[in-house]
């Protein structure tokens, strides 16, 4: 995924005060719809996300944020994701997490984050508990955990890994897909159906389930909260 140049404070304009009418309208929107409104309002003039990579600040504008979110959503649709499908996230705190979570929600999917520190058996239980169709994971470590328990993950159709480090020897495994490839699938689908993202995005309702969180401190993952 393309990374941006070092951020300069001189390039960041002052954000205009949000008027009360605009602010009051947000409670009727889903998170991806709020992102779309912010991208329309702030575009490339304001920074939405900053991440320090090898000591250098990388930045994403609001327009970037929406664009990557769109490509994730379209990429997952190209894989077959449908409204109401569950997708697990086993990722670290990086921009790709945000792009993935809102991309899934933009097309009516439900995200379920799982701990990267969990052992393979715990991850398998969580994935099967919600009958997830897809899992987006951080790196080789998380891929290896799932490969170890592959025979028990009959519901998982595709594992999408973000960090390609160490993954060269895994490329022949059709069960695995890189995040970069997912974005490419999204770009191709956008060319074929340019109106699809907007159509799906605005079908979303604030009453939809967007996120499921398994409670920490339990051994059986007995309770699941649905957050709207």
pLDDT digits (tens, 9 = 90+) for 186-199: 999 999 999 999 99
Distance between CA atoms of residues 213 and 228, nearest Å: 11
Q: What is the mean pLDDT of residues 77-93?
A: 97
Whose CA is closest to 67, among 95, 28, 26? 95
Please give the angle made by the CA atoms of 155, 160 and 165, to the nearest 5 degrees.
140
76-89 burial code (b ≥16 CB/10 A, e <16): bbbbebeeebbbbb
Kindly tell me if the per-residue pLDDT of 221 is higher than 70. Answer: no
The predicted model scores a pTM of: 0.86
**What does the pLDDT read at residue 206?**
87
Whose CA is closest to 226, among 215, 214, 208, 212? 212
Q: Please, what are the domains in the chain?
A: 63-227 (3.40.50.980)
Q: What is the mean pLDDT of residues 31-51?
A: 94
How many Cα neighbours within 13 Å face the side chain of 150? 11
225 bridge partner residues: 213
pLDDT greater at residue 119 or residue 213: 119
Distance between CA atoms of residues 167 and 60, nearest Å: 26
Answer for the pair 126, 112: CB distance below 8 angstroms, yes or no: yes
**What does the pLDDT read at residue 217?**
57
Distances (CA, A) of 62 to 34, 93, 186: 11, 18, 19
Kindly tell me if the per-residue pLDDT of 88 is higher than 60. Answer: yes
**What does the pLDDT read at residue 223?**
39
Kindly tell me if the per-residue pLDDT of 161 is higher than 60. Answer: yes
Confidence of residue 14 (pLDDT cuts 50, 70, 90): low
Q: What is the mean pLDDT of residues 127-149?
A: 97
19 bridge partner residues: none
Burial class of 71 by CB neighbour count within 10 A (0 to 12, 13 to 18, 19+): buried
């Amino acid at each position: 995924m393309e990374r941006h140049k070092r951020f300069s404070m001189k390039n960041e304009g002052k954000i205009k005060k949000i008027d009360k009418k605009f602010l009051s309208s947000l409670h009727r929107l889903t998170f991806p719809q709020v992102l779309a409104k912010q991208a329309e309002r702030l575009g490339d003039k304001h920074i939405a996300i900053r991440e320090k990579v090898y000591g250098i600040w990388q930045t994403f504008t609001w327009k970037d944020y929406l664009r990557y979110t769109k490509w994730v959503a379209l990429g997952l649709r190209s894989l077959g994701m449908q409204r109401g499908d569950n997708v697990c996230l086993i990722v670290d705190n990086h921009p790709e997490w945000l792009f993935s979570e809102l991309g899934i929600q933009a097309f009516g999917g439900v995200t379920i984050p799982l701990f990267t520190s969990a052992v393979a058996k715990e991850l398998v239980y969580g994935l099967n508990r919600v009958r997830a169709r897809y899992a987006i994971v951080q790196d080789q470590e998380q891929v290896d955990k799932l490969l170890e328990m592959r025979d028990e993950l009959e519901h998982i159709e595709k594992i999408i890994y973000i960090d390609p480090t160490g993954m060269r020897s895994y490329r022949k495994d059709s069960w695995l897909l890189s995040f970069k490839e997912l974005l490419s699938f999204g770009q191709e689908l956008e060319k074929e159906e340019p109106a699809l993202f907007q159509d799906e995005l605005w079908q979303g309702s604030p009453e939809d389930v967007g996120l499921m969180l398994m409670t920490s401190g339990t051994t059986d993952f007995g309770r699941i909260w649905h957050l709207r």
